[in-house]
Amino acid sequence: MYQKRKISIAISLMLVTLLSTSIFAAEKITVWTWYDGVLGQVFKQLVKDDFEAKTGIIVDLVTVPVADMNNKLLLSVLGGDAPDVVELYSNQIVELGVRGALENLKDKPNLNKTLEQMHPGLMRQLTYKSAVFALPGEANWTWTYYRKDILAEVGAEVPKTWDELTALSTKLKARKMDIYYDYQGDAATRSTGRLLPFVFQKGTDIYSADGTKSNLDDPEVIKAFKEFVSLFKDYKLPLEDPGYQTFVDGSTPIQIYQNWYYSLFERSAPQLAGKWDLAEMPGTKRKDGTIDRTNTGKMLTWAMTASSKKKDAAWKFMQWAVSPEFTGKFSKLTYETPEKWRLFFSTKDAIEKSPFPDAQKDVARKALANCVMQRAIVGGYVADRYVDFAFNSVVLQNANPEDAIKKAAKDSTTEIQRKLKEFNRMISKL
């Protein structure tokens, strides 16, 4: 009896040891996300029920306000306590990657298979030379919101081109109404974000293909800039607008905004149900008569820190976080919350898997397919401010548009080449 009890105790101790070893052996990664509130609750539950359950990898989710994310990340990298995975806006990625804060993903297993699921125009802001520094998550493109009832009253259609938009603007002004065009970004990128569609629709770019200088002095870019500033200088489109309020009261019945405003209008103005709709961003007529309606925007992305000691586990999480399986579930569950968020993701089948209204899915598919992100270059984030300087000098100070944008080209090139020299040692390793 005593011998049996000894054996039983020994077996129990072995089981406890095995269980303890299993628990302590479970891999754990730290992930910084900006998802908070209702979105954060849904995200956390999916991580637990889906990712952790399938992989056995434990995720320590830390919510960091998006405004603090960049600075906090740099401080954590310097302090040696950076997370394994971090959620960042796309315009920060290459600057952080070149500085050595983010892992180059180019040799990660199944990278090409993962990227094949994404719209190619979205990757321009996440890559530099041969390096890939992040995977795209939520995609915010730009399109047109319009009041169907008001346009019917004035006998007008939603504008398909910029020429149609300016003609309609004159007609609306006669009725004390207007059109608002904005790009939701910080002060340095706002003017660039509004200029880019004009530039892309002319088949060019604001930076040279090799990323070594500005292209703002290219004849086609100059023409695009003149057309852009003319909206505000000659046709007096409002520089600022309350947005939601004026869309509801009808004083700006056409508003060009990013797609996340859809949830705001839908949720906060139920009295407008059936009275408003969507269209692609206005475009530029090509020589063959077709209309180029390329738009731009920004993304939330997933990046791995270069200092992570659990890169295999971090890579598994990143692949899961951008997979059609996850984004489809996340879209559905966030819409089912009381806040009814409409989230839009970067995968080619994102629209099909989302609970977006069927009647508007075709516009959403086209807008996503026509979304081209700004090409990332070293020094580009700082160089963008010169576009803003040029815009303000023309619209607010009556400067000559061509002189202003050429000066911006010169100043941008100086900034880019200064940064290239500063980071040459790091760039040469890519």
Domain with CATH 3.40.190.10 in the chain: 26-139+298-367, 142-296+374-427
Rounded CA-CA distance 331/348 in Å is 14
What is the DSSP secondary structure assignment for residue 52, as one 8-state letter? Answer: I
CATH 3.40.190.10 for domain 26-139+298-367: yes
Residue 25, pLDDT score: 56
Rounded CA-CA distance 38/337 in Å is 7
Cα 396 to Cα 232, 236, 294, 379, 388, distances in angstroms = 10, 11, 28, 26, 11
Residue 24, pLDDT score: 47
Dump pLDDT digits (tens) for 357-405: 999 999 999 999 999 999 999 988 777 899 999 999 999 999 999 999 9
Cα 272 to Cα 17, 146, 248, 349, 429, distances in angstroms = 63, 11, 7, 29, 55
Classify the C-alpha dihedral 57-60-65-70 as positive or negative. negative
Residue 327, pLDDT score: 95
| Strand locations in 223-327 (E) | 254-258, 276-280, 284-285, 291-292, 297-304
Q: Which residue has the higher pLDDT, 243 or 314?
A: 314
Write the class of the CATH domain 142-296+374-427: alpha beta
3-state secondary structure of 132: strand
Average pLDDT of the residues of the chain: 92
DSSP 384-427: HHHHHHHHHHHHTT---HHHHHHHHHHHHHHHHHHHHHHTHHHH
Dump pLDDT digits (tens) for 258-267: 999 999 999 9
Whether residue 5 has pLDDT greater than 70: no
